[in-house]
Structures are given as C-alpha cells and as structure tokens.
C-alpha cells in the first residue's frame, strides 16, 4: 500500500514537470529576421490563426496516456474495498481464507507493475524530448536558410548596382567626348576657313596616316565644301523620304524671268500615273537656287497645290545649301562662250550632281527630266517595261527623248560613276558632252575609226521611240534665251477628247479665239480656246429636256498649251424641281445645316477645278437637271482651253 502511494506521488510529480516544460517557451529563441515574401505570407497567416504548438500536443498526449496507465494499475494492484465479514458469504471451506504465500505474491506483482510504469514514463519522456529537439532544430534551420537567401540577394543587388554604375560612367564619358569633338570641330572649321583652297587641299591629302591610301572624293573637286559642315545638307526638304521604288524622276527647276512651267510639268507627270504607279515612283523637285527665300516660297506653293501627293510620298522638294556652290566668279571662259553662259552650264552640272546624289538610294532606276515638259499617257509603265526587257545589263543610258538631258534613264548603281566623272569636269563642258565622253572612255578604241566607236556606244545608249516627253517651254532658264525646241519623235498628240454628251445648248461669256468654239468642244470635234477669263465669266450648258446626270468630267489645257487652264472655277447645276431639291439635297441632319451652296440665281455649287481638272458625281437627290454651269470666280492670268467635256447620263 505504501509503495503504491509513493509510486502515485512520483508519477504525478513527473507528469507535472513534463507538462510545465512543454508549456514553457524555449530559453532563447532567435529574433525575427527579414523574411522572404513567402515567409511574410506565412507570417500573415500565423497572425490570423496561430497554430497549436507540437510540443504542447505531445505533452497532452503523454499526460493522458500516463493517466490511463495509472488508473489501470491502481485498479489492478489495490485491494478491493473492504466488506464487513458478516455480510460476505462464506465460501466453501476449501476456498475460504487465503492460500499460503498470497501476500508475498501480491507484493511482487505491485513491484513489477511499478517498474513497468516507470519504464513507460521514461519512454514517453524520451519521445517527447526527441520531438521537441527536432522541432526546435527545424525552426533554426528555416531561419538560417532565409538569412542566407537574404544575404545572397543583397550581394546580387550590390553587384548589379556596381555594373549599372559602370555603364552610366561610360555613357557620361561618351557624352563628354562627343561634346569635346564637336567643339574641336568648330575650332578646326574656324581655322580651316582662314586657309586658302590650295593649302586646305594639301592638308587634306596628308592629314591621315601615311600607311593609308588617299582616295579621291567630292572634297577634292569641291574643296570649298570643307568650309561648312552643312554644305551637303539640303536647305529645304519637303516630303516623306520614300525609298524602294522602281523609278525616281528628277526635276531640276530654276527661277525664270518670264514664266515658270514647273506646276504644269508636275501636273502632267502625275495626271498620267495610275494609282499603282504612284506607289512605285518618286518625283524629286530640285529648286536649284541659292536664294533660300525663293526656294522656300516655291516649296510652300507646291505644298499648297499638291498636298496629297506630298503626304503620300509621291512628291519631294529639296533645295541645296547656299554653301554647296563654289565661287563662280573665278571660272574661265571656254569654247567661245561668254562668262554668263559658262556660269550657267557649270551650275547646271552641279545641280544634276546634287539631284543624282540625293536620288541614288531611293530606287532601281533614275530618270532625268526638266521642268518644262509634258508626258505621254502610260509613260511610267512604258519606261519600266523597256528597262526590264533589255537583253543585256551592259546598257548605261536609255533615252526616252532625243532632246538634251530630257528623259534619260540610268541605273542607280551607275550614278556614283556618272557623278564622279561630272565633278571632275563640271567647269569644262556641258552635261550632254560629258555623257558622250563617259561612253567613249568605256567602249571606244582609239585605234579604230569613228564608225566603230559609234557602234560600240550604241550598245550603251539605247533609244526608245516614240518619245515619251515633249519640250514645251520657250523661255530658257538662261536669261534672255528663247528656245523653241520640239521633239519630232514625240508625234502629233491629240489636243482634245470627245464624248457623246446629252443634247444641249451651250453659251459662254468668254471671247472665243479663232475657230475654237465651245460648240465644237461639246460635240467632241475640237477644243474650246478663249482669251483671258475674268471674275464672273461663265460657260453654261442648258439641256433641251431635263436629264438625270450621274457624273461629270472637265479638262482644261492640252499637251501643246498645258498652262491654259481654268483656275478658281466652280461647277454648278440647276435642278428642274428646285423646291424638291432644296428639301432633299440642300440640307442634311436634324439641324438642317447647308450641304451645298446655292447661288442667287438658283444654281447649286457641287465642285471646283483642281490642277485644271474638275470631276465628280452628281447627287441623285437633285433629280433631273435643267442646266450645268462653269463659273469663274477670280481673274485668270492666262488664256483658257477646254479640251474635254464629259457629262454622263444616269441609267
């Protein structure tokens, strides 16, 4: 009995100590360190719902197990409760009383159970201690791993910072070097400009290393270009910089004292192009004037007249820098030409060189034109197909006009050779002579006769007939020179185009020139030609019976007189039922805002002339028309030709 009580007391003490140790925190726990995003997320979850300590769970389990074992042991070892002898039934004699040695047997059983319980208690304590040590070790390992990962990230960030710092230092050094070079270049230019041309050329030849060959360049032929770093840059540049086309057409233009043909030339070139052809070519206009104010005014005028063509990339306008041209006062006279003519042809050669240098990277072929020409219909496709159909690639020039430097096609790859040859002799001979000399150098044998040379040059210079371009200017770019050159191979072009128009009476306030009447133009027999129009003049077409019109087309000017066009002229119609037309066509939208402008005499304005042409559709809500009219709104500086009238009836 005493041993059982001692056993219970010791067992309870050990359980109390175990429970206290399991519930008490560790003696020293590492402070929290910066954690990774994953650890922070786990921490946030821990704050929301703290987990149960594994040590506490194990201690509770051990406590319950030992309590159960203690209960079983006590119930087994302790004697049952005492009953009064009078109340106990008397067993048979053989079973009453105790067998000999019974107390000793019970004592031995109690000792055995006590040892067994102490063993179980030690085993449970050992398992609890092992679990507690393992859990504590896992937490330490997790903190150590996160600390090492943090240290690695800090090290990587430090290395990246050092690398970025080095890159920024390199960029800063490059900027400083570029600024220093630019300043040095300015100082050199100031010093260089104070030297004579001969001295500059000598310095240019010896400036590089002695081990490097000195190749000829544009600066050897035009040393004055070294005076300014912007001497080769265009002073005026209008356009989209289109490249990768089949044909680039160069049109040099200079200031003429009497009349400029530039806008007529551009109108002729672009009006004969289809939509697909306009996407496959570039027209480059060179305003070859040192007067920058004049060049800018011409460029602004072209932007106003051809905004869509410039926006699409079809038309570009450039002008060379005033520093591109040398001092023409030092030219020497040659071939009996006066100094003014020598200056004119010398500058013309330089203009061609500038235009070719600008255009050589834009397309496959380059065509040289002038600013006072007209073009045949379908000229673009004709030139392109003729170039592609050449059996040999040895050709150098394809000629589409027999006059001067008009309609000459070159391969863009050959332009560098041509420009370099022209620069060598730009002061000596005109351009057409220089081109002939290039071919002579390439294929002619000095030991053979002239006929043999001509046959060889014919392989390089191939002529196309009929001519695709006609010269129409009479006032040359050389002041005071009248030039009435015509290409005989151009042929007789149709000066008018007839159509079957609705029956009508035609009248005009314009004064007719000779026999070129309005009636003949309306019937398609000839063109209408009249003296200079003034504001208020008109051409009226009154139909014999009201007719529904689908569309209209009016063309002014012709190939021989491309400048005789209608400018600032409107197209007007007179509906037969004016009241209904006003209700349906003159207003639109809920606000009933004006859709068309109505004149005082009842005509409705539906279109205007652009570049000498008026075309469009007639609103079907107008119904049958009683008349159509062309009204001149401002005075015109030139005569007028109406070469095509087409009024299409609605089906």
Find the Cα–Cα–Cα–Cα dihedral 441, 444, 448, 449, rounded to 10°: -100
If you count DSSP H runs as helices and E runs as strands, how many of each does the chain have, helices first? 17, 22
**Is 202's pLDDT higher than 60?**
no
- Cβ atoms of 573 and 623 within 8 Å: the answer is no
Give the Cα separation of 609 and 80 in Å (integer): 132
Average pLDDT over residues 513-538: 94
- Cβ atoms of 279 and 309 within 8 Å: the answer is no
- pLDDT recorded at residue 477: 60
CA distances from 568 to 200, 226, 467, 522, 615 (A): 56, 48, 33, 21, 14
**Is 211's pLDDT higher than 70?**
no
- pLDDT recorded at residue 474: 66
- pLDDT recorded at residue 70: 53
Give the Cα separation of 285 and 595 in Å (integer): 38
616: alpha, beta or left? (left if phi > 0; alpha if psi -120 to 50): left
Give the Cα separation of 545 and 550 in Å (integer): 16
**Is 503's pLDDT higher than 80?**
yes
Q: What is the mean pLDDT of the chain?
A: 79
Give the Cα separation of 466 and 487 in Å (integer): 10
Least reliable range by pLDDT among 253-257, 316-320, 441-445, 615-619: 253-257
**Is 625's pLDDT higher than 50?**
yes
- pLDDT recorded at residue 368: 96
Task: Please give the full DSSP string across 552-595, using - where no structure is assigned.
Answer: EEEEE--SS-TT----SEEEEEEESSHHHHHHHTSEETTTTEES
Going by C-alpha positions, the residue among 114, 112, 127, 109 that lies closest to residue 54 is 127
Average pLDDT over residues 298-319: 94
Average pLDDT over residues 134-162: 82
- pLDDT recorded at residue 383: 96
**Is 88's pLDDT higher than 60?**
no
User: For the chain, how big is the Rg over CA atoms in Å?
Assistant: 53
**Is 377's pLDDT higher than 70?**
yes
Give the Cα separation of 17 and 129 in Å (integer): 13
Sign of the torsion angle spanned by Cα atoms 467, 472, 478, 482: positive
Average pLDDT over residues 108-131: 67
Average pLDDT over residues 34-49: 42
How much of the chain, in percent, has pLDDT values that exceed 70?
A: 69
Cα angle 313-318-323, degrees, rounded to a multiple of 5: 155
Least reliable range by pLDDT among 270-274, 330-334, 452-456, 586-590: 586-590
Task: Tell me which fold the domain 504-649 belongs to.
Answer: Jelly Rolls (2.60.120)
Sign of the torsion angle spanned by Cα atoms 130, 132, 135, 137: negative
Give the Cα separation of 503 and 513 in Å (integer): 24
- Cβ atoms of 282 and 314 within 8 Å: the answer is yes
Sheet bearing 236-238, strands edge to edge: 236-238, 315-319, 281-287, 245-253, 363-368, 408-411, 397-399, 461-463
Give the Cα separation of 541 and 539 in Å (integer): 7
- pLDDT recorded at residue 38: 40
Q: Which residue has the higher pLDDT, 540 or 330?
A: 540
Task: Tell me which fold the domain 232-490 belongs to.
Answer: Spore Coat Polysaccharide Biosynthesis Protein SpsA; Chain A (3.90.550)
Can you tell me whether residue 304 is helix, strand or coil? Answer: helix
How much of the chain, in percent, has pLDDT values that exceed 90?
A: 38
pLDDT digits (tens, 9 = 90+) for 388-415: 998 877 899 999 998 888 999 999 999 9
- pLDDT recorded at residue 65: 53
Least reliable range by pLDDT among 37-51, 159-173, 508-522: 37-51
pLDDT digits (tens, 9 = 90+) for 155-184: 888 888 888 888 888 888 888 888 887 777
DSSP H or E segment with residue 160: helix 102-193
Give the Cα separation of 277 and 299 in Å (integer): 24
Q: Return the domain boundaries, the chain.
A: 54-73+117-194, 232-490, 504-649
Q: Which residue has the higher pLDDT, 52 or 592?
A: 592
Cβ neighbours for 463, distance < 8 A, ≥ 6 positions apart: 399, 402
pLDDT digits (tens, 9 = 90+) for 17-38: 454 444 444 444 444 444 444 4
């Amino acid at each position: 009995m005493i041993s059982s009580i001692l056993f219970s007391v010791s067992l309870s003490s050990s359980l109390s100590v175990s429970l206290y140790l399991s519930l008490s925190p560790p003696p020293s726990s590492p402070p929290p360190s910066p954690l990774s995003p994953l650890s922070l997320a786990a921490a946030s979850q821990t704050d929301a719902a703290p987990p149960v300590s594994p040590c506490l769970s194990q201690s509770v389990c051990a406590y319950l197990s030992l309590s159960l074992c203690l209960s079983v042991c006590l119930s087994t070892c302790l004697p049952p409760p005492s009953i009064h002898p009078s109340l106990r039934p008397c067993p048979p004699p053989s079973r009453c009383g105790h067998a000999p040695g019974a107390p000793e047997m019970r004592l031995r059983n109690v000792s055995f159970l006590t040892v067994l319980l102490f063993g179980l208690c030690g085993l449970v304590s050992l398992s609890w201690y092992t679990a507690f040590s393992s859990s504590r070790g896992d937490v330490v390992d997790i903190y150590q791993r996160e600390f090492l990962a943090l240290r690695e990230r800090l090290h990587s960030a430090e290395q990246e910072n050092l690398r970025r710092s080095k890159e920024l230092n390199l960029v800063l050094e490059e900027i400083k070097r570029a600024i220093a070079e630019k300043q040095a270049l300015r100082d050199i230019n100031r010093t260089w400009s104070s030297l004579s041309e001969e001295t500059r050329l000598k310095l240019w030849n010896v400036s590089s290393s002695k081990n490097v060959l000195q190749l000829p360049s544009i600066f050897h032929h035009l040393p004055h270009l070294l005076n300014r770093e912007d001497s080769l840059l265009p002073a005026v540049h209008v356009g989209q910089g289109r490249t990768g086309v089949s044909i680039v057409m160069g049109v040099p233009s200079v200031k003429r004292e009497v009349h400029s043909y530039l806008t007529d030339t551009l109108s002729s070139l672009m009006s004969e192009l289809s939509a697909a052809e306009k996407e496959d070519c570039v027209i480059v206009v060179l305003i070859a004037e040192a007067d920058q104010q004049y060049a800018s005014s011409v460029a602004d005028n072209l932007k106003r007249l051809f905004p869509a063509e410039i926006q699409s990339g079809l038309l570009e306008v450039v002008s060379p820098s005033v520093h591109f041209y040398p001092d023409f006062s030092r030219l020497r006279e040659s071939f009996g030409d006066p100094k003014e003519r020598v200056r004119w042809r010398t500058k013309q050669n330089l203009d061609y060189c500038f235009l070719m240098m600008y255009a050589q990277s834009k397309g496959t072929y380059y065509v040289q034109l002038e600013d006072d020409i007209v073009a045949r219909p379908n000229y673009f496709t004709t030139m392109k197909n003729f170039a592609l159909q050449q059996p040999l690639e040895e050709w150098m020039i394809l000629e589409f006009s027999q006059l001067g430097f008009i309609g000459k096609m070159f391969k863009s790859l050959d332009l560098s050779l041509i420009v370099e040859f022209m620069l060598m002799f730009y002061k000596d001979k005109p351009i057409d002579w220089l081109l002939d000399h290039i071919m002579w150098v390439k294929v002619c044998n000095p030991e053979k006769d002239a006929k043999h040379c001509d046959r060889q040059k014919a392989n390089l210079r191939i002529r196309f007939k009929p001519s695709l371009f006609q010269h129409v200017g009479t006032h040359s770019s050389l002041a005071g020179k009248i030039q009435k050159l015509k290409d005989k191979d151009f042929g007789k072009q149709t000066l008018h185009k007839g159509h079957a128009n609705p029956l009508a009476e035609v009248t005009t306030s314009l004064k007719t020139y000779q026999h070129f009447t309005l009636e003949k133009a309306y019937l398609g027999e000839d063109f209408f030609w009249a003296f200079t129009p003034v504001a208020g003049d008109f051409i009226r077409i009154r139909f014999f019976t009201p007719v529904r019109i689908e569309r209209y087309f009016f063309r002014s000017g012709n190939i021989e007189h491309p400048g005789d066009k209608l400018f600032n002229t409107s197209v007007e119609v007179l509906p037969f039922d004016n009241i209904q037309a006003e209700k349906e066509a003159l207003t639109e939208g809920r606000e009933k805002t004006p859709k068309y402008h109505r004149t005082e005499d009842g005509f409705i304005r539906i279109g205007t002339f652009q570049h000498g042409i008026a075309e469009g559709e007639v609103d079907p809500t107008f119904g049958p028309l009683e008349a159509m009219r062309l009204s001149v709104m401002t005075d015109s500086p030139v005569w007028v030709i109406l070469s095509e009238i087409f009024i299409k009836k609605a089906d």
